[in-house]
Amino acid sequence: MERKKICVIGVGLIGGSLAIQLHEKKLSSKLIGVDVNEEHARKALELELVDEISTLENAIDESEVIVMAMPVDTMVAMLPLILDKIDRQIVLDLGSTKSQLADAVKSHPKRGRYVATHPMWGTEYSGPQSAVRGAFENKAVIICNAEESDADALEWVKHMYNKIGMHQLEMEAKAHDLHAAYVSHISHITSFALANTVLEKEKEENAIFELASAGFESTVRLAKSSPAMWVPIFMQNKENVLDVLKEHIAQLSRFKESIEKEDHEYLIRLISNANKIRRIIK
């Protein structure tokens, strides 16, 4: 397939990392960045993540592909407006929730030009300076409600993800949001909560952080993630997040109860059952 003029709206961690791949895999003939954060826009240009920075209006007019990489609440508001302005351009998003996006444009006359995707990669950092070379290689990308996208738009998006080394799965938007709550969203809530717990105790015991091990660091790593990104995700996926959070709290209560009662056998069973995760994570 020939290279395309591509606009990336939101040149932070995710958008910036994708921009690197679009350059290196020769998918783009020109990369245009759009960002409401002027510092991010300046930095993305300085780091050569994009060829130029433009306004949204001009970028849409000039581009053949439009990539949305902003927080998901902004996406829901902007996606219908972007579809209003396009002709035959391809629009795709990189958001972590999908149901509200799908609902926002389900009756839009240009719905077919949009491809809903979620590349399963990210770090706890943000901003264009955090962009990572080769970030998406050997990771999964979920394509949602593929049957609602035009064949040529879907074909190009699949070609793009294939070129940057991602393996692809197709899923219905509501199913995606359910699974994402279990494999991603609860991990972040747990990390935020644990960090707050330790920060509260740290007021009493300064040695906690001096004794912090690699295990602690890996567990709370996600607590450094941006609230601007994660609050909208939790709100958009509220029902599923609350469901998994309820189960997680129940599991914590079982550990608390077994320790209070010094029930060694029950504690062994709980930990042994947790060890079964080895079947999924080697």
- Mark whether 121 and 193 lie in a shared domain: no
Do both 186 and 162 map to the same domain?
no
**Does residue 20 sit in the same domain as residue 147?**
yes
Asked which of 136, 171, 206 is the last residue of a domain, the reply is 171
pLDDT tens-digit series, residues 142-151: 999 999 999 9
Lowest-pLDDT range, 4-18, 54-68, 194-208?
194-208
> Are 249 and 158 in a shared domain?
no
Please enumerate in sequence order all residues whose Cβ is within 8 A of that of 119, keeping only pairs 6 or more positions apart, or say none: 14, 18, 94, 136, 139, 140, 141, 161, 166
Boundaries of domain holding 253: 176-279
Q: What is the pLDDT of residues 208-220, one digit of tens each?
A: 666 666 777 788 8
CATH of the domain at 272: 1.10.3660.10
How far is C-alpha 85 from the chain's CA centre? 25
Which residue, among 103, 91, 84, has the nearest Cα to 153 in the 3D structure? 91
pLDDT at position 265: 97
Is a pLDDT exceeding 70 seen at residue 49?
Answer: yes
Q: Are residues 147 and 211 in the same domain?
A: no
Same domain? 180 vs 162? no
Mean pLDDT of 161-165: 98
This prediction has a pTM of 0.90
